[in-house]
Amino acid sequence: MKAVTYDRFGPAAEVLVLRDLARPAPGAGEVLVRVAYSGVNPSDVKARAGTRPGVTRPPFPVIVPHSDGSGVIEAVGEGVNPGRIGERVWIWNGQWQRAFGTAAEFIALPDAQAVTLPEDVSLEAGAVLGIPGLTAAHCVFGAGTVTGKTVLISGGAGTVGNLAVQLAKWGGATVIATGSPRDFDRMRAAGADHVLDYRSDSLAADVLAANGGRLIDMAVEVEFGVNIATLAEVMAENARIAIYGSAKDMAPEIPFGPLLFKALTLDIVLIYILPEVERGRAIERLHAALADGALSLPEPNVFQMQDAAAAHEMVEQGGRTGAVLVRL
């Protein structure tokens, strides 16, 4: 089978190589998926570049990158219902702690990691439900319903943030989203009740004004280090902050006093290690929102296998609209 691979860290154009690998066979409890689309996420490009703290070389001799994907089940291993053959599925954790991810024509992985794709959801959309979809769903609903609450979502135009805006609005929340003015219309289209410039010198005051002077019930945060001071000011007592990123400041100073006297919950979300029960709930929420027509995914940026390096570079550059996919 054809697969995108790397065996050393470095720039995408230098280390990503298209090569032939043996087609895998599903083991006991596994399914073999013929991959249609492979999703490229920031964590994938950081892993390939070797920028994870303390990691100096790839953990396997050859790596097929990417954890997200979609496709059709081709075969099943012992103990798996053969009726699954022919099912359209979406994949999570395809390359988490494994050598071979979804950037190949086939992937064999545990049965539970190939989730039946709802009938009216495209394979392109399915390849976005793993890291972005589950992260957004758990951030928004990880502590229960949001009906009647005000949810502050930073980076409301990013893939995760935009899905979080849609999910929170579907869940009955008032949504305040921050982002660049160029993306205001997109955030409003996703359901944001109020959109704010994330670079405003008076962001905390802007957030409170948008909420009628009231403090915020919950936040979904993509840049914790940059925004912690603002969050400490605008969050209500006993509020929850779901944090899924802090790329611009990975060692932030935390104003513990204001957090303590509001008893704020800092919920750090790493979707790869989400416990089974919580993951199941996030999947249920995603599928329910899809069934209700409440999730709209922007047109993805699709690359051919031989152009996988360009796909990685697009993710690294940022500022894009829509997910980045590699077509298998």
Q: Using one digit for the tens of pLDDT, what is the confidence trace for 226-284? A: 999 999 999 999 999 999 999 999 999 999 999 999 999 999 999 999 999 999 999 99
Compute how many other C-beta atoms are within 10 angstroms of the C-beta atom of residue 20: 10
As a whole-number percent, the residues of the chain with pLDDT over 90 amount to 96
Same domain, 144 and 261: yes
- Res 39: pLDDT: 98
Q: What is the mean pLDDT of residues 278-307?
A: 96
Angle at 238 between CA 237 and CA 242, to 5 degrees: 115
Predicted pLDDT of residue 53: 78
Mean pLDDT, the chain, whole residue set: 97
Q: Looking at the structure, tell me whether residues 91 and 117 fall in a common domain.
A: yes
136 and 268 fall within a common domain: yes
What is the extent of the structural domain holding 189? 132-272
pLDDT of 126 above 90: yes
> How do residues 10-47 score in pLDDT, each as one tens digit?
999 999 999 999 999 999 999 999 999 999 999 999 99
Q: Are residues 212 and 196 in the same domain?
A: yes
| pLDDT score recorded for residue 236 | 98
Please, which pLDDT band fits residue 55 given cuts at 50, 70 and 90?
confident
Domain assignment of residue 234, yes or no:
yes
Same domain, 97 and 145: no
The total domain count for the chain is 2
Q: Is the pLDDT assigned to residue 107 strictly greater than 90?
A: yes
Domain annotation covers residue 92: yes
Query: What pLDDT does residue 321 have?
Result: 85
Average pLDDT over residues 163-174: 98
User: Do both 91 and 202 map to the same domain?
Assistant: no
Q: Given this model, what pLDDT does residue 52 score?
A: 81
pLDDT at 297: 87
Regarding whether 42 and 19 lie in a shared domain, the answer is: yes
Last residue of a domain, one of 225, 256, 272: 272
For residues 247 and 319, state if they share a domain. no
For residue 278, the model assigns a pLDDT of 98
Write the pLDDT tens digit of every residue in 188-232. 999 999 999 999 999 999 999 999 999 999 999 999 999 999 999
pLDDT score, position 124: 97
On whether both 145 and 252 belong to a single domain, the answer is yes
Residue 280 domain flag: no
What is the rounded average pLDDT of the residues 312-316? 97
pTM equals 0.96
For residue 15, being part of any structural domain is answered with yes
pLDDT of residue 319: 82
203 inside domain:
yes
Q: Are residues 179 and 254 located together in one domain of the fold?
A: yes
Q: Is the pLDDT of residue 320 over 90?
A: no
- CB-based contacts of 14, cutoff 8 Å, min separation 6: none
CATH number at residue 61: 3.90.180.10
Any domain includes 291: no
170 lies in a domain?
yes
In a domain, 69, yes or no: yes
CA–CA distance, 84 with 112 (Å, rounded to integer): 12
Residues 195 and 264 in one domain: yes
In a shared domain, residues 120 and 136: no
The pLDDT score that the predictor gives to residue 21 is 98
